[in-house]
Amino acid sequence: MKKVRNKIGKYEVGRTIGEGTFAKVKFAKNTDTGDSVAIKVMAKSTILKHRMVEQIKREISIMKIVRHPNIVRLHEVLASKTKIYIILEFVMGGELYDKIAQQGKLSENDSRRYFQQLIDAVAHCHKKGVYHRDLKPENLLLDAFGNLKVSDFGLSALTKQGVDVLHTTCGTPNYVAPEVLGNQGYDGAAADVWSCGVILYVLMAGYLPFEEADLPALYNGINAAEFVCPFWFSAGAKTLIQKILDPNPKTRMKIEEIRKDPWFRRNYVPVRLSEDVEVNLDDVQAVFDDIEDKYVSEKSESTEGGPLIMNAFEMITLSQGLNLSPLFDRRQDYVKRQTRFVSRKPARVIISYIEAATESMGLKVHSRNYKMRLEGVAANNVAQFAVVLEVFEVAPSLFMVDVQKAAGDTLEYHKFYKNLCGKLESIIWRPMEPAPDSGMLRQMTV
């Protein structure tokens, strides 16, 4: 049996909980305090190869600067000879996107509460000279208490004092302000406000205000602000959204005006922040300067054999609470960006079935041990599409296949996952079937 437990400084590293083109995110525990954290792992060679040093330094610096209860906290930055480790707050409630995908539209009160927390976080960023530029439900996480946490500052801009005009076109098209698409320079604060307005619309409607099959039509709709509020929007919410989704950034509602709006202020409890502490960024520079870093001790104990064993605590962190049923019921789970199914077949058999199924879907397959990366071109023949799969043993003769989107559109990922499950129907175990060692699974839930 194969067991791998890495140690990075005082952190014991477990499973991979996210994977992108340039980084992996690992679940870990602080051995001093017992607290859970997320560790973003990046290879220095990859950062240098893609000339991303300044971008990564900016992202780390920004996260140190914007400390706020509604922003994912950066605890510290470590480095080894070959890798950089960003130690982040572990937010176990999942993405706000998942909640919308599962429930559809949210209640007006819930939408307002998330919007209030979002505006508080964005206002704090702007006060610090930081503009996020990629605000969307997939970058908004929920903690165990249902509080919103803004994440992913990879596209953020940190402006110099007195400079507010930005020029880089970036972000997700459906959430991007018209002036950003115009490529003529834009106010970062006004652009973020527009994205917040789109998010509020999505929370209350359950769908996007601007959604077209092709980009030219989408851009035309955004530039003209052509959208219709559903009949269930209250008059106050409708008025607020219309003022925010104003295609003219100069007349668009500003954050201080949003905070004074009667609809916004209902049950509003502003966040009280402690006094600003001066942020020292010397350690960020040191991470990139000192190749022979002294701060990290990497230890790895491994023996060849089967897939990684997932312990009960790690399973609970996947379930967004203590209810483990979503882990084993693919009907509840297939709408998410990260999805999983369970099989009673041997791990090697599961891998061979997946390889055959995905190759028949025209995807390139890269396999190593019990982990796979699938790559292809998205349906629009423009963007790249990539998925990462990993097999875990959760009980004797019972295996979980964890599937995550690594690149591409989330809706396209939904279609892929549904198609994959159809092709793997013969090996997927369903909860109503008798499971081996079901008593062990019951013990795990206690």
Highest mean pLDDT among 1-10, 13-22, 33-42, 399-408: 33-42
- Name residues whose C-beta falls within 8 Å of residue 269's C-beta, 6 or more positions apart in sequence: none
Nearest to 93 by CA among 72, 79, 112, 76: 72
Residue 177, amino acid: A
Q: pLDDT at position 193, please? A: 96
> How many whole angstroms separate alpha carbon 354 and alpha carbon 420?
8
pLDDT surpassing 70 at residue 270: yes
**Positive or negative CA dihedral for 433, 438, 442, 444?**
negative
Strand-pair category, 308-309 with 384-395 = parallel
> How many whole angstroms separate alpha carbon 354 and alpha carbon 102?
26
pLDDT surpassing 60 at residue 61: yes
> What percent of the chain stands above pLDDT 90?
29
> How many whole angstroms separate alpha carbon 87 and alpha carbon 29?
11
Nearest to 28 by CA among 93, 89, 95: 89
pLDDT surpassing 70 at residue 47: yes
Lookup: tokens for 101: 């995908």
Domains and CATH numbers, the chain: 5-90 (3.30.200.20), 96-265 (1.10.510.10), 308-445 (3.30.310.80)
428 three-state secondary structure: coil
Tell me whether residue 423 is annotated as binding. no
> How many whole angstroms separate alpha carbon 193 and alpha carbon 199?
10
pLDDT in tens, 123-140: 999 998 888 888 999 889
User: Stretch 229-249: mean pLDDT, rounded?
Assistant: 96
> How many whole angstroms separate alpha carbon 280 and alpha carbon 141?
27
Lookup: tokens for 139: 């970058």
> How many whole angstroms separate alpha carbon 50 and alpha carbon 111?
39
pLDDT in tens, 380-432: 444 567 888 888 887 777 888 888 887 777 777 888 888 898 899 888 887 65
Which positions are annotated as active-site residues?
134
Residue 86 vs residue 311, higher pLDDT: 86
- The owner of tokens 């619309």 is 201
pLDDT surpassing 90 at residue 121: yes
pLDDT in tens, 149-190: 998 876 556 554 444 545 444 557 889 899 888 767 788 899
> How many whole angstroms separate alpha carbon 126 and alpha carbon 189?
7
- The owner of tokens 């209640």 is 107
